[in-house]
Structures are given as structure tokens and as C-alpha cells.
Amino acid sequence: MSDSILHTMGQQLGRRSWAEPWKIKMVEPLRVIGQEERQHAMKDAGYNTFLLRSEDVYIDLLTDSGTSAMSDRQWAGMMLGDEAYAGSRNFYHLEEAVRDYYGYKYIVPTHQGRGAEHLINQTVIKQGQFVPGNMYFTTTRLHQELAGGIFVDVIIKEAHDPNDLHPFKGNVDLDKLETLFKERGVENIAYVSLAGTVNMAGGQPVSMANVKALRGLCDRYGVAIYLDATRMFENAYFIQQREEGYANKSVAEILKEFCQYTDGAWMSAKKDNLVNIGGWLAVNDYELFDQLRNLVVIYEGLHTYGGMAGRDMEAVAIGIAEGVQDDQVRARVGQVEYLGTLLLDWEIPIVKPVGGHAIFLDARAFYPHIPQDEFPAQTLAAQLYTDSGVRGMERGIVSAGRDPDTGEHRYPALELMRLAIPRRVYTQAHMDVVAEGVKTVYDSREATRGLKMVYEPKYLRFFQARFEAQ
């Protein structure tokens, strides 16, 4: 990998400024509606930002999923779509990109990440088995549960504390994991579900030392490790920046080494792979691949398209090669850090250290007077939209859902409101506007009241639940 342009420029100028390694070739005009209209829009949406119309949103930080700006090369690739039902040439490009950059042997395409989660969990989980993981993710845990699994959180305890400055808060607590293996017996463990970076902990990375030690432990007990590779480029970048011995390795080299310690991965290409739709599943074991390739035909599509058009697979293949470049990841994580620094300078409570894809506002610290079952993070998302037209997302008690056995709310330690930054979409000026909006909401926090849930769907309730003001 060649030296980074940004780094070289910074050195020549004797200062540390940097800018994105791309320029803007096409723009999408934004509409800004007035505050009163936003108030109505928020009420009509049941105080759930998922139910707003995107046209009523000014700066959309709901998610970094499927919201990336594609490059001119990716758009050119879209014109080269081979829309054959079977054996599309774009599938082979995708297969080659996953093999080259992630290093797995066998690839099954899927329509997006949860399609891959469905296939792997239905295949490897037996009824009643435990699935230890470094913090839950909404769709991941649901697919584990629907396949008969029981998720057990084995992330290190520092991950649950928004103020702990541990550099790798995504790490697995290996003692906790080994205790689980011993107490439950390894025949009752389906696999270890490892995510890098950890979305629900605030985009926090896993260290290379941790995954290496995890591999050693799992080898001793004969347990497989499957990786949620959704934001592994960002995880690899944090290893380069923070872990001894990796400063001179490229993100691509670090990625490949990390993946070597795992037996396979599922991927939401809508994140790090810089596309608007797509996903894949990759494993090293042929027998398992054979089962997955058979199952994909039932739920997604033939094993050479898995729910994607040929052109989409081409865009993913190109997106992998672009997304893994050091300059790209540095600018991406750098923009998140820029916004985080603005907020920290104003002493606004956010999860620290700042993660890879988003800023997570600590809604508990924001609104200590609002009890968790009056949905502080949901309230904060509604307030921010109403103030400034900026859309974020709840990642707290609503996202955590109910315990399937007791039917009670799960009360997560972290009650967060997420501002996820789409890749290559917004400028630094947009980040300034966001920070000022958050500051305004923070300044009026004491007068803010919580919400009441008035409609609750059965699955993944955060997407469609409705609320009313108290």
C-alpha cells in the first residue's frame, strides 16, 4: 500500500490538517422546513425518527447503513452489471474481492447483512444452545434467537461505561467466556459471535491481541468464531492507530490478519463496503458452505446473486477495494472524531473514546430526571430533530426490546442516542450545524420531559414503535 497522500501533505506543511481524499462531482439539494413544521412532523411520526419522511429531514444521521455516496468508479461499475440469472460475472468479481481483502475461501451473496445472519444462524445453531458475543446487535441477536439460540453478552465490563477510556472497549472478556464454556459445556455453545467494531457499545474496536487470544481459547475448546464484519475496516484502522506493532501496517493488511483468526463472517455491505444495498456471508469450511449455498436459494436467490442485481455486486466489489484504503478510513473516522471533539469541548456527555461510525450521546447523563422507562434516548432524538432538523436514532431501552422469557423491558446499562455519519456524504460545515443543534438541546435539557409508548410491534420494536408526549 502506498504512503497516504494526507499524511505526506501534512508532513510537508508541518501541520496536521487533513481533508477528504475525494471531491464532490454531484450534489443532492436539501430542503429545510421550519421549526413549527418539524414539531408537527415529529408528533405525526409518533416521536420515532424512523417514522419521519426523509424529505422533512435536513441532516440525516439516522444511520450509516446504505447511505454512503458511491464513487464515479462504482457508478461506472453499475453500468457493467451482468444480469444473468446464473453465473453473473459480477459475482466472480465480488468473490475475488472478498477473498483478496478478507481472506475467506467461500462466499455466499445475500441481499443485506440480516439475510446472511439468517442463513448462518439457521445452519449452525441447535435449539437451546448458547451464543456468546461481544454485546448484542438488534438483528443479529434476533436471528440467533429465532434459530433457537440464547445470546450471552461476554464483552469486557468497560464497554458498559460511557466514560471509560479503554482503547479497545469491544474486546471479549476471555475469563467470562471460558467460565461459560466450563459451566454450560462446549456442546451447548453454538459459536462465538464476534463483532468489530461494536455498534451498540458506541463503535468500539476489538484489539488484535484479543482476537488472537480468543482464537487460542476457542481452539482449546473446539468452538468456532464467526465475525460480524460490518465495520471491520474501521476496526482495523483503530488497531493501526492504537495497538503496538501495527502503526506501519496498512488497514488492508490488518484486516486480513484479523479475519484469519475467525472461521467466517457475515457482512452488511451497506456500511464499510460503501454501497446502498448488499451483503455477503463467507466461510472457510466447505461442508458448511455447501449447506449455506443450499439455504440461500430458498430465502435470498440463486447462490451467484443472493438477492442482489449483478450491478449491485459490482458496486460492492469496487466498494471493498475503495473502502479499505487508509486515506478513506482515516477521513471517515476523522470526521466522526471532528464532531465528537466539538461536543466534548462543550462538555456534552458522549460515549468516549469516540467510535468509528457515530457519536453516541449519553441520554442518561443528558436527562438524569427522566427514568429509563420514559425513554430518555428516544426523547433526545425527538428533541434534536425538532430543534434543528437533524435526525438521529435511539440506542437504549427501546432498541433493547423485551426479554423473551419474562416479557419485561430489558434495561440496558447504556441509554444512548446515536448520530451515525454516512460515508462520503456530509461536509465539515454540516458537522458544525449538528454540534450547534445538540448544544441548543443540551442547554434546555432541564425543561424536557419523557415519552409514553403507545404502540409496540412484536419484533425489533424500535423501528415502528409510537410514542406520545407526557
Ligand X SMILES: *Cc1c(COP(=O)(O)O)cnc(C)c1O
Which residues are marked as active site? 85, 137-138, 228, 271, 395, 462
Residues 6+ apart with CB under 8 A from 337: 354
- To ligand X, the closest distance from the beta carbon of 379 in angstroms equals 23
Contact by Cβ (8 Å): 413, 160: yes
* Interacting positions 339-368 with ligand X (CB under 6 A): none
Q: Is 230 in the site for ligand X (CB under 6 A)?
A: yes
Residues 9/417, Cβ–Cβ less than 8 Å: no
Q: Which three cell numbers stand for residue 298?
A: 430458498
CB-based contacts of 41, cutoff 8 Å, min separation 6: 33, 52, 53, 56, 385
Q: Which is nearer to ligand X, 228 or 415 (CB)?
A: 228
Instruction: Looking at residues 20 to 79 of the shown chain, list those that interact with ligand X (rule: CB under 6 A).
Output: 65
Q: Is 189 in the site for ligand X (CB under 6 A)?
A: no
* Least separation in angstroms between CB 231 and ligand X: 7
Asked if 270 is part of the footprint of ligand X (rule: CB under 6 A), the reply reads yes
Using the 8-state DSSP alphabet, how is residue 80 labeled? T
Using N-to-C axis directions, what is the helix angle for 251-260 and 232-242, rounded to 10°? 110
Q: How far is CA 42 from CA 54, 84, 306, in A?
A: 12, 44, 37
Listed ranges 28-36, 49-57, 109-117, 333-341: which one lies at the site for ligand X (CB under 6 A): 109-117
**Considering only CA atoms, which of 419, 420, 303, 426 is closest in space to residue 20?**
426
Residue closer to ligand X (CB basis): 64 or 158: 64
Q: Which of 240, 268, 304, 378 binds ligand X (CB under 6 A)?
A: 268
Segment contacting ligand X by CB under 6 A, of 1-9, 67-75, 137-145, 374-382? 137-145
Which one of the spans 111-119, 158-166, 251-259, 404-412 is the region binding ligand X (CB under 6 A)? 111-119
Among 114, 391, 395, 418, binds ligand X (CB under 6 A): 114
Q: Which stretch binds ligand X (CB under 6 A): 13-21, 133-141, 155-163, 313-321?
A: 133-141
Q: What is the bridge-based pairing of β-strands 59-60 and 390-391?
A: parallel
Residue placing its CB nearer to ligand X in the complex, 168 or 181:
168
What's the grid cell of residue 187?
456442546
Give the interface segment with ligand X, choosing from 107-115, 145-153, 171-179, 324-332 (CB under 6 A): 107-115
> Which cell numbers hold the place of 230?
460490518
Instruction: Report CA-CA distances (Å) from 343 to 61, 120, 333.
Output: 16, 40, 16
Nearer to ligand X, 68 or 388 (CB): 68
Per-residue x/- track, 199-228, ligand X (CB under 6 A): x----------------------------x
The least CB distance from residue 387 to ligand X, in Å, is 27
Using CA atoms, how far apart are residues 424 and 323, in angstroms rounded to an integer?
11
Footprint (CB under 6 A) of ligand X, residues 379-408: none
Which is nearer to ligand X, 232 or 348 (by Cβ)?
Answer: 232
Closest residue to ligand X in the complex (CB): 113
Part in contact with ligand X (CB under 6 A); list of ranges 112-120, 249-257, 335-343, 344-352: 112-120
Half-sphere exposure of 109 (CA within 13 A, CB side): 29
Transcribe 248-274 into DSSP letters.
Answer: TS-HHHHHHHHHHTSSEEEEETTSTT-
Single residue of 137, 237, 366, 467 touching ligand X by CB under 6 A: 137
Report yes or no: 137 and 171 within 8 Å, Cβ to Cβ.
no
Does residue 110 belong to the site contacting ligand X (CB under 6 A)?
no
**Minimum CB distance to ligand X smaller for 239 or for 358:** 358
Residue 220 CA to residue 181 CA, distance in Å, equals 11
For ligand X, the closer of residues 41 and 135 by Cβ is: 135
Q: Count of CB atoms within 10 A of residue 28's CB?
A: 6
14 alpha carbon, distance to own chain's centre? 35
State the minimum distance, in angstroms, from the CB of residue 269 to ligand X. Answer: 7
Closer CB to ligand X, 268 or 379, in the complex: 268
Summarize as ranges the residues that interact with ligand X (CB under 6 A): 65, 112-114, 137, 139-140, 195, 199, 228, 230, 268, 270, 279
